[in-house]
Amino acid sequence: MSMATTRRLATTAFVGLAAAALLGTGTANASIISGDGMRIASYENSLKNSTEPEAAATLKEFDALAHDKKIKFLDYTEDPENLKALLQEAADVPEAGKSVHSLVNLKDGDVQIQADSDATFKPDADADGVAAGGKLSRGWWETTYSVKQKILGVTVTKLSLWVNYYTNGSSITKVDHADCAKRNYNAAVSIGHSVPKAQLASGTAIGEVIWEGSIIYRGFGIEIDKRHQVKANAYGFKSGYLKNI
C-alpha cells in the first residue's frame, strides 16, 4: 500500500470517528458534521498528531484563519495547479540587507513560493569582535537556504538546506557538514531526500541535497525531484537554488 493511500485511509477513519463522537454526545449540528467541518477537523488533527517540530506553528497559523478561509486553504491544497507550483524553481543571489531573496505570487497572492536565507554563529572563545570589511567573524557558521510554499499565509511545504563551516575572519578554511530538513503538511505530497553532501571549493562552502518527491492526488501524479544547493563565502550567504532534475 502506498504512503498516499495510507494517509487517505487514515483521514477517512478519523472523519468517521469524529462524526460518531459528535452524534453520540448529542452536540452535533449540520455545520460541524458537514463535509467542510470534517475536512477542517481532519487537517487540524493531523497537525496535532504530527511528530514534526514545526507542526505546532502550522497549526497555529491555520487556526488563525476564519472558517471560510480554512475551507479555501484546504481547497488550494487539493488544487492540481497549486500542487504543480511545487515545481517552481528558485535561484538566488543576495541583495544587501535582505534575507528574503525571491517571492512568486499565485492565485492573486493567496499562494506564494518564497525563498530566504539565514545564518547562525558560534564564535571562537577568544574571538576579537567583528571581522573587517564586512566579512564574517572568526568561528563556526551555519548558512541556510530555504524555499517554502505558503497558502493564505500558512506554510504548507518548506525545504531547507544548510552548510556548516569555519572562517578565520578572512576566508573559509573548513567545511564540516551539510544537512537538510523538510516541513510538509500536504497529504498529496510525499518528500524524501538523498544524503546531504558538503565541500569546500575556492573559499566557498557548498551544501547540496537531492529531494525525491511525488504528488499523487485523484489520479494526478507527477515527480518533483529537485537539486537543492546553498553556497557561503567569507561574507556569508553567496547563492542558492532549487532546480528540477
DSSP string for residues in 176-217: EEEEEEEEE--TTEEEEE---EEEEETTEEEEEEEEEEEEEE
CB 243 within 8 A of CB 226: yes
Rg, the chain, Cα only: 21
Please report where in the chains the cell 478519523 appears, as a residue: 14
Neighbouring residues of 179: CB distance < 8 A, sequence distance ≥ 6: 161, 162, 164, 196, 207
d(CA 169, CA 234): 7
Show the DSSP H helices in the chain as ranges. 3-25, 35-48, 55-63, 67-77, 80-84
The mean pLDDT value of the chain amounts to 81
Write down the number of H helices and E strands in the chain.
5, 12
Q: Express as a percent the part of the chain with pLDDT over 70.
A: 76
pLDDT of the residue at 99: 61
CATH classification of 89-244 is 3.90.550, yes or no?
A: no
Q: What is the tens place of the pLDDT at every residue in 167-219?
A: 999 999 999 999 999 999 988 888 999 999 999 999 999 999 999 988 877 66
**Kind of pairing, strands 139-151 and 172-184?**
unpaired
DSSP bridge pairs for 226: 211, 244
Q: What is the tens place of the pLDDT at every residue in 205-215?
A: 999 999 998 88
Domain boundaries, the chain: 3-77, 89-244
Q: What is the tens place of the pLDDT at every residue in 51-93?
A: 888 899 999 999 999 999 999 999 988 887 777 777 777 776 6
pLDDT of 27 > 50? The answer is no
d(CA 186, CA 58): 11
CB 37 within 8 A of CB 23: no
